[in-house]
Amino acid sequence: MIGNREPILRVRDLAVEFTIGQEGLFGPKKILRAVKGVSFDLYQGETLGIVGESGCGKSTLSRAIIRLLPASGGEAVWLGRDIQKMDTKDLLGLRKDIQMIFQDPLASLNPRMTCGAIIAEPLQIHMPELSKADRTKRVAEMMAKVGLLPTMINKYPHEFSGGQCQRIGIARALITNPKLIICDEAVSALDVSIRAQVVNLLMDLQKELGISLLFISHDIAVVRHIAQRIMVLYFGEVVEIGDSEQVTMDPQHEYTKRLIASVPVPDPRVEMERREERRRLRREAATKAA
């Protein structure tokens, strides 16, 4: 609890396991433990950054929270209700309140639908009582909010740049007035300049609308810029969680230190020294393993 505030999302000991094979014909199944007992709280209007290298369980965790993947244990409680125990009707309401922005902006959009139809689709599902005119008005307002021109409403995804496609994805996520948006590597496929624009857009929209964000990324520098708190995942486990400034300036876990050390520095001399230090650490690790 922060002050007198209760978390809107409370995750406790959430675990996800996959069966990846079997030893022989009658042998035991091989189990991959992708997420291992993760716990955290998320508050209204807060951004929690989830950081770690590829394969550490970040995306699996986010999908398990909203039941796009089945959890093997633990619970995710949304506004006092356990998501794992929700029926179909309750899950539909959850989809309205929790939206997702995906990593590949172009692949996440239907190539046969126009920009306007893509953004309006959630309204047809979650707010069927709206008239066509009302939906069109809302779409136009949302497009303006994310920096898309009105003339783009009838264009198809292939006619947009990667940054513009991600803006469409953001507009689609915001159109239902959600309380939480999960950004699953939402900027990793974008160029550096476009990445900064999208991150700043998300921060501005959060301040304006008061939404919460789960911002997932392998880039701790980007996460530090947008998040108030950072949670570091390593092989499906939380190894460190705390204020962004604290985690990035005074990391306690060795893995967090390595993530920070991997961030490029615009100084050739410093970068060369850091590369040498990383090589030295790898040699020491190899020697200990031998």
**Domain harbouring 44, CATH code:** 3.40.50.300
When mean pLDDT is compared across 9-13, 27-31, 83-87, 247-251, the lowest value belongs to 27-31
pLDDT one-digit tens code per residue, 11-43: 999 999 988 777 777 777 888 889 999 999 999
**What does the pLDDT read at residue 180?**
95
Complete DSSP assignment for 17-82: EEEEEESTTTSPEEEEEEEEEEEEEE-TT-EEEEE--TTSSHHHHHHHHTTSS--SEEEEEETTEE
Among 58-67, 94-103, 196-205, 274-283, the least confident range: 274-283
In a domain, 244, yes or no: yes
What average pLDDT does the segment 177-202 reach? 85
CB atoms within 10 A of CB 89: 8
Q: Is 277 found in the same domain as 247?
A: no
pLDDT at 67 over 70: yes
| Statement: the pTM of the whole predicted model exceeds 0.85 | no
For residues 179 and 143, membership in a common domain is answered with: yes
Residues 107 and 224 in one domain: yes
Question: What share of the chain has pLDDT > 70, as a percent?
Answer: 91
Q: Is the same domain home to 245 and 289? A: no
List Cα–Cα distances, 78 to 12, 152, 231, 287, in angstroms: 12, 36, 19, 47
The total of other beta-carbon atoms located within 10 Å of residue 137's CB is 12
- For residue 263, the model assigns a pLDDT of 73
Buried b (16+ CB within 10 A) or exposed e, 148-178: beeebbebebeebebbbbbbbbbbbbbbbeb
Contact 220, 259 (CB under 8 A): yes
Alpha carbon distance 187, 199 (integer Å): 7
Looking at the fold, whether 218 and 137 belong to one and the same domain comes out as yes
Is 39 a member of any domain? yes
Residue 4 lies in a domain: no
Does residue 190 sit within a domain? yes
Q: Residue 187's pLDDT is what? A: 81
Give the per-residue pLDDT at 198. 84
23 lies in the same domain as 164 = yes
Lowest mean pLDDT among 18-32, 99-113, 143-157, 209-223: 18-32
- Strand (E) or helix (H) holding 222: helix 220-226
Of 63, 56, 158, residue with least CA distance to 107: 158
**How far is it, in rounded angstroms, from Cα 201 to Cα 190?**
14
Query: Which residues, at least 6 apart from 115, have a Cβ–Cβ distance to it below 8 Å?
Result: 143, 148, 152, 153, 154, 155, 156, 157, 160, 168
Residue 231 lies in a domain: yes
Which structural domain range is residue 197 located in? 9-252
46 and 137 co-located in one domain: yes
Question: How many domains does the chain contain in total?
Answer: 2
3 belongs to a structural domain:
no
Residue 1 lies inside a defined structural domain of this protein: no
